[in-house]
Amino acid sequence: MTKIFPRSRALSVADDPRWARIVARDRTADGQLWYSVSTTGVYCRPSCASRAANPKNVALHDTLESARATGFRPCKRCNPDGLSLKCENAALVARACRMIEEREEEPSLEELAEAVHRSPSYFHRLFKSATGLTPKDYAAADRAKKVREGLKIGNSVTEAIYDAGFNSSGRFYEKSTGILGMTPTQYRGGGANEEIKFAVGQTSLGAILVASSKKGVASILLGDDPDKLVRDLQDRFPKAHLVGADREYEALIARVVGFVENPHIGLDLPLDVRGTAFQRRVWQALQEIPVGQHVSYAEIARRIGSPNAVRAVAGACAANNLAVAIPCHRVVRNDGALSGYAWGVARKRALLEREASQTV
């Protein structure tokens, strides 16, 4: 007797894992697959925002040529033959950034939006999502960068100020300390003659170095070797005048050590926070995380209004000079796993466990 084997059922579109990416409008799938819809006679990219089609009427394509071979027309909404919306928006933002950088005077939001053919409100949201900054903050950061570059190549303070696009020296000097972390003259000299006081102490997590400028605490460093921490400080302030601790300053480091051991007491000390506008926004968000809690890098990106800037958030955490005072140790991966920490993952784990136990 001849056996009759049932025919294997072809995988339906609904069961195909590629269909799930289309349902999710996965932008990362753009350029990797396309789909066509027989009832509308169009083909689309996976991220298309059109109403979801019935999978019975859909065909999946691994190449753009295959989608075109259906004889259908390209969707006008998602433009599958051209750049993806993400790439198109990135190009618009890049164009606006070049416009900001090349203009002598800061262009208005309306001028930027008109140049890229978008409404001011939409462009503002788009720019902030892509860069982590508003157009105004980006322009301010660009002017600050130009001032720093001008001072480094030997321009006079006045030349650097006006070459960077500041309309008056008065406007710059109002913000100079926040922009440079010191006076323009000191910055031009590479921080020469800036006095930095420091002291080294010991905590249950190892050695700790605290350093302060006239403005406030500028560095809190953790490590195993006190001498290495001092060398690290010298590298951070190569032309500054480092002054060892006196009795009064040793009292300050005792307060910092107490804070490390018991974070719930808080650290009511002025901080000299030196960083870009974006880094400052990230660090401010970190300081708002309650003791005993932790959040993901993606959550911090959302909190500062830049959900696509997860990598930049991680970079800002890595650039933090103020261990514990700016609690970058409270930021973890999406799955809760610990990621890198400038002062060692073991210390990060110990800090989180200590805060969690003290919160209970």
Q: Give Dmax over CA atoms of the chain in angstroms.
A: 102
* H helical segments located in the chain: 17-23, 64-68, 85-102, 109-115, 120-131, 135-152, 157-163, 169-180, 184-188, 226-236, 247-261, 277-287, 297-303, 310-318, 345-359
In three-state secondary structure terms, 124 is helix
Cβ-in-10-Å burial (0-12, 13-18, 19+) of 264 comes to exposed
Q: Name the amino acid, one letter, at 223.
A: G
Q: DSSP for 286-349?
A: HHTSPTT--EEHHHHHHHTT-TT-HHHHHHHHHT--BTTTS-GGGEE-TTS-----TT-HHHHH
Rg value, the chain, Cα? 27
Distance of CA 256 to the CA centre of its chain: 27
**Active-site residue, from 44, 78, 97, 317:** 44
Respond yes or no: is residue 328 known to be catalytic.
Answer: yes
**Active-site residue, from 78, 97, 317, 328:** 328
Respond yes or no: is residue 48 known to be catalytic.
Answer: no
Q: How many CB atoms lie within 10 A of CB 315?
A: 14
Give catalytic residues, as residue numbers: 44, 328
